[in-house]
Amino acid sequence: MSQIYEIIINKKTNLNPIWIMRQAGRYLPEFREIRKKNSDFIKLCLNPSLATEITLQPLKRFELDAAIIFSDILMVPYGLNQKVEFKKNFGPILGKLDLQKISNFNEEDFTEKLKPVYTAIDLVRKNDLTLNKSTIGFVGAPWTLLVYLINKKSPKQKLINNFFQDLRSIKTILLVLDKFLKIHIKNQIDNGAEVIQIFDSWAGLLETKDLPDYVYSPTLSLVEYIKSLNIPAICFPRGIKNYKIYCDNIKPDAICIDYETDPIQIRRDIKIPVQGGMDPKVLLSDKENLKKEAKKYLDIFKDHPYIFNLGHGVLPQTDPNMMDYLVKMVKDY
């Protein structure tokens, strides 16, 4: 049983597991070599051999406790035949949404389209590097995927002006997403994912009054489904103002916090296992500062079930030597 699983399920406090969001990817020179030869990001995610290699790259370098599959939350819209492309230095761009087409989309076609992702999870799970480590699958939360489907691109700080003008269509999209996210989750679990993380990257864009309809209810549906399959769910509602209310409503097995959240408040309010928190920019500073900031989180959560992680994904300009220093420091704590 992996340390991460022990913390989430058995609430162990004497362990110091660590994995890092976006640990497989852009800051590693060996990933950049692959990326140089594979300019189409979607095709790269759908290449089981390369996706497996990329997933395992950080485990070859660092003593991390989990492999998180190299994929993307936008694979679900792609699986529904939505046009998705990634433009360099800009991010994702999505095509026009055909609501009727996605509403009637065939489940088998969806699974077939994303089969390479599931094959990669299976290959990762069977690799010697993942022995006694967790294999983490993931999905985007319904709200965050809704944002991309309507906004057509990353919203950065705000939604398009007429975002909520067609509430009937929004309701239909959320129902479609609920159905196909569950299929995507089940397929990942069937191929060896032992933990599922739900990324709600744009939860912070909503006003408090809108959270029940767009975050709490749709995410609860996924969490209850994951739990019904006897798999733990970690939720990461980035930018949410009140983590306690979020946890009370959704009841995830573990909560991942962002770097703008007060960890002392979290320690006081949250009873379930906690993950993350440290600002990724700390890895761009020096070793002394990195040690101080990492130790702050380890000290605050030393008597609470805690998985060390960042409060967002690792930045592309991060020096792998700093990551190595961080992992060793956490392990030696």
Beta strands 84-87; 91-94: pairing state: antiparallel
Q: What is the pLDDT of residue 81?
A: 94
Q: What is the pLDDT of residue 160?
A: 87
Q: What is the pLDDT of residue 1?
A: 83
Q: Which domains does the chain have, with CATH numbers?
A: 3-332 (3.20.20.210)
Question: From first to last of its 333 residues, what are the pLDDT tens digits of the chain?
Answer: 899 999 999 999 999 999 999 999 999 999 999 999 999 999 999 999 999 999 999 999 999 999 999 999 999 999 999 999 998 878 899 999 999 999 999 999 999 999 999 999 999 999 999 999 999 999 999 999 999 999 999 988 678 889 999 999 999 999 999 999 999 999 999 999 999 999 999 999 999 999 999 999 999 999 999 999 999 999 999 999 999 999 999 999 999 999 999 999 999 999 999 999 999 999 999 999 999 999 999 999 999 999 999 999 999 999 999 999 999 999 999
Q: What is the pLDDT of residue 148?
A: 96
pTM for the whole structure: 0.97
Q: What is the pLDDT of residue 156?
A: 81
**Cα 13 from Cα 135, distance rounded (Å):** 21
Phi-psi category of residue 89: left, alpha or beta, with phi > 0 → left and psi -120 to 50 → alpha: left
Q: What is the pLDDT of residue 45?
A: 97
Whether 66 and 80 have beta carbons less than 8 Å apart is answered as: no
Q: Is residue 124 within a helix (H) or strand (E), and if so which, with residue range? A: helix 115-125
Q: What is the pLDDT of residue 26?
A: 94
Nearest to 184 by CA among 220, 224, 138, 227: 138
Nearest to 125 by CA among 59, 42, 46, 44: 59
Q: Which residues of 9-42 are buried (b: 16+ CB within 10 A; e: fewer)?
A: beeeeeebbbbbbbbbbebbeebeebbeeeeebe
